[in-house]
Amino acid sequence: MSLFKNYFGLGGSKPAAQDEKTPVRALPASWYTSQEMYELERRAIFSRKWLLTTHRARIPNPGDWVRYDVAGYQFIIVQDRKGNINAMHNICRHRAFPVVTKEEGNSYVFSCKYHGWSYGLAGNLAKAPGYQELAGFDKSQNNLFPIHVHVDRNGFIWVNLDAAETPEIAWNDDFLGIDEQERFEHYNFEDYVFDHHWEMEGEWNWKILADNYNECYHCPTAHPDIPSIADLNSYFVNTQNAYIQHFGQPTPEQIAKGFRVAATYFWPNASMNVSPHFFFIQRFVPDGPSKSQMRYEVYRNKNSSDEDFNVISDMYKRIMSEDKYLCANAQKNINAGIFVNGELHPEMEKGPLFFQKTVREIITEHWKKEQQSGSEIWPAQQQVPKTDTASQSDSQLCAAIDCCSRGKGRMDDNKKMCLDEAIAF
């Protein structure tokens, strides 16, 4: 906790201001290992920001659904009978059991296997055995927790876990126009169909994966395939709002082979690479401060031959495996406690610098809001009705006890005050 206060200027010195002659250094290693930082990221980033998750082609039929998760939040994306795309938390409103336990499927009802509560494809409660005649029970107040959904003009599906009726951050705030990139004119996304998915799990922080993806400084050394699909001499990135566009001018020979690739990183944790033969969505899914998955959904152009598709698909899998090796071994040394951070190149590592700057700004802003409010702020958390005074009181008691046991919040100034609050409940 003292490290947080010192870093954010709440009990010590703030990070030194940078000038053009001062070397730009990366985020400290502690940001890639700290459990407290990971929990803060869950609150500040993954509870609030729009997350690119999948594409309409993944769920082409009414009743098609897929289960996803990110940073401990598990949710379902489904196409309903009317063709709408809905998302909801995978949590039964009765006793919190998952309403689906498989990875994907097709159904018109989500039925909890604990007590038999069932829900429609929009998350509405359809049946609660034994509750039909219960006085005061309101079905409409027991629907699955909804998640905000945005489907962009190219069919990509985004979710926002903010529990507010209207999310604090609008999709347009971060991504206005990103689905109208000029380079997308080379591709008709309606020509692509879902082919397969795969993943790699490792002992690494999700941010080390993002740092690695967003620069090609390492490509000549670590990826022998890259020069065959991109001209590294022309490679550069464009950073703005909440995305990083990767550019490289392909040669006529590369274009003829279908290696015209448009790559974009969507902050915080997803990217999309599209070529004439396929596109894939890559998601960096944190599961703790030093454990994450690299998850891929691969979509194939239905007009491409098996040979054309397999050549580029297999190549990207080799590249991703090479990245796994790089990130896993870098994380081991970060965990060892020797390395703090290194100097980043202002041009060749412009992508990681932008990514880390955005992380720093979002985390700092949320942390300061929590300090002002005197408590943690969980935007994705269920909102308990103000009329439910018993639940409000129970939650306040637990928060006060937690304050006493862990020395958080006002506990730092007056332990007795916190204990008195707990007893008062």
Residue 312 is predicted with a pLDDT of 86
Average pLDDT over every residue of 117-135: 95
What rounded mean pLDDT belongs to the chain? 90
Domain ranges of the chain: 51-355, 384-425
Model confidence pLDDT, tens digit, residues 183-236: 999 999 999 999 999 999 999 999 999 999 999 999 999 999 888 777 888 899
> pLDDT tens-digit profile of 268-288?
999 999 999 999 999 999 999
Q: Who's near 295: CB < 8 A, 6+ residues apart?
A: 197, 198, 199, 282, 283, 284, 285
3-state secondary structure 104-115: EEECCCEECCCC
Tell me if the bond preceding 286 is cis, omega within 30° of 0: no
Question: Of 216, 229, 200, 195, which Cα lies nearest the Cα of 311?
Answer: 229
Tokens of 110: 């989500």
Burial of 197-223, coded b for 16+ CB within 10 Å and e otherwise, reads beebebebbbbbbbbbbbbbbebeeeb
- 259 band by pLDDT with thresholds 50, 70 and 90: confident
The yes-or-no verdict on residue 9 having pLDDT over 60 is no
Q: Which amino acid is at 137?
A: F
- Tell whether the model's pLDDT for residue 314 goes beyond 70: yes
pLDDT reading at 358 higher than 50: yes
pLDDT at residue 412 is higher than 50 = no
- Judged by average pLDDT, the poorest of 68-77, 110-119, 216-225 is 216-225
DSSP characters over 154-180: TSEEEEE---SSS-SS-HHHHHTTGGG
Q: Express as a percent the part of the chain with pLDDT over 70.
A: 89
Question: Residue 309: helix, strand or coil by DSSP?
Answer: helix
20-29, 252-261, 288-297: least confidently modelled range: 252-261
Q: Between the CA of residue 25 and those of 17, 22, 29, 34, 342, what are the distances in Å?
A: 12, 9, 11, 19, 5
Quickly name the fold that domain 51-355 has. Answer: Rieske Iron-sulfur Protein (2.102.10)
pLDDT at 410 (0 to 100) = 46
Per-residue pLDDT at 157: 99
299/181 Cα distance (integer angstroms): 19
Q: Which residue has the higher pLDDT, 13 or 203?
A: 203
pLDDT computed for residue 414 by the predictor? 42
Percent of the chain scoring above 90 in pLDDT: 76
Give the phi and the psi of residue 32 in degrees, each rounded to 5: -105, 5
